[in-house]
Structures are given as C-alpha cells and as structure tokens.
Chain A
Amino acid sequence: MDLTVVLTMGKYVLLAVLYGFVFAVFRGIIGQLLAESRRETGGVRVRRRVARPRAERRRAREVAADAATRPEPEPTAAEDRPVPQPPPAPASEEPMREEPRAPRLVVIESDDEERAAGDEVPLSAAVTVGRSEENSLRLRDRFVSSRHALICLRDGRRILVDRGSTNGTFVNGERVEDEVELRDRDRIAMGNTVFEYRAR
C-alpha cells in the first residue's frame, strides 16, 4: 500500500482516538460531579418531568431506591448505626420532602453563652472545631481541646475527624477513634457541647 495512504488513514485514526480520549475523560468527570452532588444532597433529587433516556431513568430509579433504603432518621442520641430497614414503599408514595438545605450543625446543648440551643452553624467544605481562636468553629468550653476536631467533605461524604482531643468526640454516644462518616441527624458531643448534624 502507498505510504501516504497509510499515513492519512493513520492521521484519522489518531484524531479519532484523541477525541475518544477527550470524551472518555469528559464523561468521567461529569459522572463524578453528578455522583458527588447526589451524595451531597443525600440522594434527594428534584423530580423532572422531561423525558429522559433509559439509562438515566434506570439510574434515577436506583437513586430513589437507595434514598428509600436509607434508614429513617433517629432522633435519639446514643443509638448505634442504624440497621437496614425492610424494603421501602415505592418512592412516589412518599410525602413530598421539604427543600434540601445546606448542611449544618444545630446546637443542642452548649455552655457557651453565645451559642444557644437551636442555633445553626453552616458547614463549609472544611470546618475545624476547637477552643482556640484559629478554629473556624470556636467553642468556649473548658472540656474541648484547643484543636479538637475537623468536619470536612471528602468525595462528597461528610467526615468527622478527631484531632486527638483529650476528652474525645462522641457521635451518637460512641467515641470517635480516628474518623467517622456523619449521617443526617447524628448527635455530635464534644466536651459539654452537643450538636446535631443535618445533611439537608
């Protein structure tokens, strides 16, 4: 075969592979972003009435099932990690949920005069908690270490890390050894301060 023909064909193959690569990365990144935002809102997505491709519809169904298998919130503290619940009712029969809100901590108990019960602390991607002023969430609590804990977002999951505090951090009554993933309505206790985590 003529060399120029081979080279021309080769060039088209190269271009095709190049675009294939760009597309693969693009799709991957978009997929990751979607997965993160889905986890961020706790599986709740606004229902759309627009016709969607089958693959997406299937994915949406999976998400809905995932959201439904998520255990009901436990208002009481000191409960262990909830056990999976029996198969849920279809998602469509669930009552309409209220608008998802930004993740936050709600103060349940506090010694600090500036933090009354019911106060809300919005959570950014990373919040350091402790007694010293350098923390983004400062607690004036004698039993809280100066650098007590870190609450941060990792791959769309909210993680609480105990930074080696003296008196420990307790999530639902259990002492956090190293780090723990927070679920909606987890009770977080540090020193004499108790928060409730709200994912939405």
Chain B
Amino acid sequence: MRSILQRRRTELLLLLFAAALVAEGGALVCLGMGYPVWRLTRGLSVVGGIIAGALMLDLADPRRDRWLLPLVAVISGLGFLLLWQLDERSASRQIVWMLTGSGIMVAVYYLIEDVRDLARLKYTSGVLALLLVGLTLAFGVERGGARLWLSIPPPGLGLRPLITFQPTELVKVLMCIFLAGYVAERAELLREDTRRVAGLQMPRLRHIAPLVLMVVFSLTIFVGQRDLGAAVLFFGLFVAMTYLATGHKSYAAVALVLFVAGGVGAYLWFPHVRTRVDMWANPWLEPTEGGYQILQSLFALAEGGLLGTGFATGGGGSIPAATTDLIFAVGAQQLGLAGAVAIVLLFALAAHRSFSIAWQATDSFGALLAAGLAVVFSLQTLVIIGGVTKLIPLTGITLPFMSYGGTSVVVNFIALALLLAVSRDCIPHGLRSEH
C-alpha cells in the first residue's frame, strides 16, 4: 500500500509541476498579449483535464506507467501556450479537444479490460483503416493542396458539415492494432519458415503477403493523396513491426533498399515530391513559393538564437502553418535553442517510456502494440522536427500533442490510453477466472 501511494505521489507531484509551469507561462501570455488575467484558467484547464484523467485512472490500477501523463501535460500545455498567442479562436477550440481527448482516454482505458482482446479486432481494424483511406480518396475534402479531410455529411449535398476530421490520424492507431495482431500471431512463421534469397533470410510470400498488400495499398494511396509524411510513417511502422517480431535484420535491410528505391521513384514520378526535395536541397530556388515554409522556419530558428526572442510576444506568427505542423519553429523562436532542446528532450523521454512499456509487456501482442505506438510517436516527432530544421525534406505531419488539430489530439490520447492499458498490469483479469 505504501509503495502504491509513493508511486502515485511521483506522478501527482510531476503533474503539479506541469501545472505550475503552464500557470507561469499562461501568466506571461496574459501579460504579454494583454489578455485579462482570468483567462489564465484556459491554460490551466488543458493541464487540469490531464490531471483529472490521471486521478480517474488512478482508481483503476495504481501500477500503470507514471511518467507519460506528466510529460504529455507539459508538452500539450506548452503547445497550447504557443497556440494561444497566435490564434485565440483555435486556442479555445484546442481546449475543447484536449478535454475531450482526456475524457476519451479515460473511457478507452476502462473499456479495454484486457489489451489482448484487441488482438481479436485486428482484421476489423485493418479493414476499417483501408475503408477510411478509401473514403478519403473518394470523398475527401481538399485543404491546402492535400486531400486529407473527411466530412460528415459529405460535401455537395448542400448540408453544413457536422464533423470534419483527418482519417489518417485514426488510421495510425488502427494500423498499429492490425499489424500487432497479425505479426504477433505469425511471429513464429515469419521467423522460422524462411528461405534464403540472395543471401538474405526472407519469409515465404504467403506469410507476408497480406502485410505487403496492406502496405503497398496504403502507400499508393498516401502518395496519391500527397500525404508524404503519412507514407513515411506507415512504411516505418511496417518495417519496425516485422523487425521487432522476428529479429531478422534482413527485413530492415530489404526495407531500406525498398525505401531508397521508392524515394527515387517518387522523386522521378511525382512532381510534388520533387518540389519538396528540391526545396529542401535549396529553398532559395523559390523563396516566395515552394521554399517559403522552410525559409520562414529557418529564419525563426535563427532569430530565436540561444535563448529566444521572448515568450508571450506572439513571435513566429508569420510562419506558415505555425499553429499546426510548424509549431516547433514557433517555440524555437520564442525560447531559442535552449527551449527547443528542452522540447526535444520531453519528446525523447516520452518515447523512451513508450518503448519501455513495450519492453516490459507480458505478451507479444501487448508488446508489439505498445512498440508500434511508440514507433509512430517517435517517427512523427522525428519527421516534423527534422523537416522544420531542414535535416530532411519538410513534410506535413503533426507534432504529437503540441500541434493544433482536433483529430490529432483526440487520436493521440487514444494511443496514450492504449499504452497505459498495456502498462497497467502484466496479468489481465480475464485470465484468472478461466477454467
């Protein structure tokens, strides 16, 4: 009992730490932007939602991971504070999404009594993922040059859209469930029933065919949808899952070759891919068009310098997509290299915890699910922060928990709930009463 209290104490203290941090930042934003002080409650409500969630989850099982929620609280609190300076209306909406997300997290956590039950839903989620992608391709709404949005009811019927959301975000979690379930069931076959092809151990086609089909299908669609970030993400997820389940390095090697070949092919065949890469190689080719985003981002980083131009000054608002994909650049401008490094560290710690949960999971499905979610989280962070800092070509993808966006926030909370569900106990309750 004492150890349980001690453990929860760590989490609650860290959450209070997070609340203090956001309160301080919120007070600065109120001062700097001239908002009335009572609006400070807005900033606090973001962290408050997560604290409330933590307290509710606490009653379920005191053994679950204690570091992720405080980390997420700080990351999303910081993201909110930046967003709040740039766009007040979006900020208000973001609060609603954050609170909804926290609520959904609690609901998902309780709904899944045993994570292994999700393994039975692997084909359902696989089909659902394909369906969502197909629907977006057919009825998607275009925003900003990419067809990523679904609206219900569909446009053209003369009705006001009730909900618009980005299916790609949801597909991430569905794909994790499908891949984890499929690979966990066939890990033995993928590992043992292999053939040597050109000196590399490869599994028989029939074991891997559904996986390859799934990946090829989703990749084609994402390239067709012009959503390169998602394409990279799903490819990485697929490779990581097969490697984790089998331990064969040849998978990773083949995947790397495929990735390079695919990259070269995409560069040659798809003009929008070529633009991205060319702008990465030299953004000054079109400083006011294709290269505008990356240049603005680089200017922001440079202006930020070591310690930043100042928090709560509304700086960085001129960067395109400042509230969503490029929020990291805004943070780096206002808080400088020091702040940027701190943000990266927060993400690194969260990724470490996610992988630790996978490592400590008791069954292969739970382990692979947690690992998949961890891979998605880290890849997303790497792709967008790498893009913003011009390490790799910039592709549009959200920074988890930090970017503005309803679907992204809610889905990230669902993923968080799944991770916590894997972490909570190594013995699911269902197993005990079985005869």
Residues of A with Cβ closer than 8 Å to B? 3-4, 6-8, 10-15, 17-22, 24-26, 28-29, 125-126, 145, 147, 150, 152-155, 159, 161-164, 166, 178-179
By the criterion CB–CB under 8 Å, are B426 and A18 in contact? no
Q: B28 near A: Cβ within 8 Å? A: yes
By the criterion CB–CB under 8 Å, are A28 and B28 in contact? no
By the criterion CB–CB under 8 Å, are A166 and B435 in contact? yes
By the criterion CB–CB under 8 Å, are B426 and A152 in contact? yes
Given A22-B342, A152-B362, are A11 and B311 also a contact pair (CB < 8 Å)? yes
By the criterion CB–CB under 8 Å, are A17 and B20 in contact? yes
Q: B312 near A: Cβ within 8 Å? A: yes
When C-beta atoms are compared, the residue in chain B nearest to A149 turns out to be B431
Q: Mark B411-435, 1 if CB is under 8 A from A, else 0.
A: 0000000000000011100011111
A28 surroundings in chain B (CB, below 8 A): 10, 14, 67
A-B contact pairs, 13 of them (CB 8 A): A11-B312, A14-B24, A14-B28, A18-B78, A18-B342, A19-B342, A22-B346, A25-B70, A25-B71, A28-B67, A150-B427, A153-B426, A164-B433
How far is A53 from B334 in the complex, measured between Cα atoms in Å? 38
Given A126-B426, A152-B426, are A25 and B311 also a contact pair (CB < 8 Å)? no
B18 surroundings in chain A (CB, below 8 A): 21
By the criterion CB–CB under 8 Å, are B432 and A7 in contact? no
How far is A20 from B313 in the complex, measured between Cα atoms in Å? 23
A126 surroundings in chain B (CB, below 8 A): 361-363, 426
When C-beta atoms are compared, the residue in chain B nearest to A19 turns out to be B342
When C-beta atoms are compared, the residue in chain B nearest to A161 turns out to be B427
Q: A10-B24, A21-B74, A126-B363 are in contact. List 19 more A-B contacts (CB 8 A).
A: A7-B311, A7-B313, A8-B310, A11-B28, A14-B335, A15-B335, A17-B17, A21-B18, A21-B21, A25-B349, A125-B359, A150-B431, A152-B426, A153-B426, A154-B426, A159-B427, A161-B431, A163-B431, A164-B435
B24 surroundings in chain A (CB, below 8 A): 10, 13-14, 17
By the criterion CB–CB under 8 Å, are A125 and B432 in contact? no
Q: B372 near A: Cβ within 8 Å? A: no
B78 surroundings in chain A (CB, below 8 A): 18
B335 surroundings in chain A (CB, below 8 A): 11, 14-15, 18
By the criterion CB–CB under 8 Å, are A10 and B312 in contact? yes
How far is A145 from B435 in the complex, measured between Cα atoms in Å? 8
How far is A189 from B371 in the complex, measured between Cα atoms in Å? 35
When C-beta atoms are compared, the residue in chain B nearest to A9 turns out to be B28
Task: Report, nearest first, the 10 A-B pairs whose CB atoms are least far apart.
Answer: A126-B362, A11-B311, A10-B28, A152-B426, A18-B342, A17-B21, A22-B345, A154-B426, A152-B362, A163-B431
B28 surroundings in chain A (CB, below 8 A): 7, 10-11, 14
How far is A12 from B335 in the complex, measured between Cα atoms in Å? 9
By the criterion CB–CB under 8 Å, are B432 and A161 in contact? yes
A162 surroundings in chain B (CB, below 8 A): 432
Q: B25 near A: Cβ within 8 Å? A: yes
Interface residues of B in 376-435 (CB under 8 A from A): 425-427, 431-435
Interface residues of B in 343-365 (CB under 8 A from A): 345-346, 349, 352-353, 359-363
B: contact size bracket: 35 or more
Q: B103 near A: Cβ within 8 Å? A: no
**B432 touches which of A4, A15, A29, A164 (Cβ 8 Å):** A164
Q: Chain B contact residues: over half helix, strand or loop, or mixed?
A: helix
B298 surroundings in chain A (CB, below 8 A): none
Q: B63 near A: Cβ within 8 Å? A: yes
Q: How far is the CB of A28 from chain B (nearest CB, A)?
A: 6
Interface residues of B in 10-55 (CB under 8 A from A): 10, 14, 17-18, 20-21, 24-25, 27-28, 31-32
**B32 touches which of A3, A18, A166 (Cβ 8 Å):** A3
How far is A7 from B78 in the complex, measured between Cα atoms in Å? 16
Q: Mark B127-143, 1 if CB is under 8 A from A, else 0.
A: 00000000000000000
A18 surroundings in chain B (CB, below 8 A): 21, 74, 78, 335, 339, 342
How far is A29 from B10 in the complex, measured between Cα atoms in Å? 11
B431 surroundings in chain A (CB, below 8 A): 147, 150, 161, 163-164
Q: How far is the CB of A153 from chain B (nearest CB, A)?
A: 7
Q: How far is the CB of A68 from chain B (nearest CB, A)?
A: 22
By the criterion CB–CB under 8 Å, are B310 and A3 in contact? no
By the criterion CB–CB under 8 Å, are A11 and B349 in contact? no
B27 surroundings in chain A (CB, below 8 A): 10
By the criterion CB–CB under 8 Å, are A29 and B63 in contact? no
Q: How far is the CB of B61 from chain A (nearest CB, A)?
A: 11
How far is A152 from B432 in the complex, measured between Cα atoms in Å? 14
How far is A6 from B308 in the complex, measured between Cα atoms in Å? 15
Given A7-B31, A10-B27, A13-B24, are A21 and B360 also a contact pair (CB < 8 Å)? no
A179 surroundings in chain B (CB, below 8 A): 427
Q: B112 near A: Cβ within 8 Å? A: no
How far is A11 from B27 in the complex, measured between Cα atoms in Å? 11
By the criterion CB–CB under 8 Å, are A7 and B32 in contact? yes
A10 surroundings in chain B (CB, below 8 A): 24, 27-28, 31, 311-312
How far is A15 from B24 in the complex, measured between Cα atoms in Å? 11
By the criterion CB–CB under 8 Å, are A152 and B353 in contact? no
By the criterion CB–CB under 8 Å, are B14 and A153 in contact? no
Interface residues of B in 41-95 (CB under 8 A from A): 63, 67, 70-71, 74, 78
**B308 touches which of A11, A22, A150 (Cβ 8 Å):** A11
How far is A8 from B63 in the complex, measured between Cα atoms in Å? 41
When C-beta atoms are compared, the residue in chain A nearest to B34 turns out to be A3
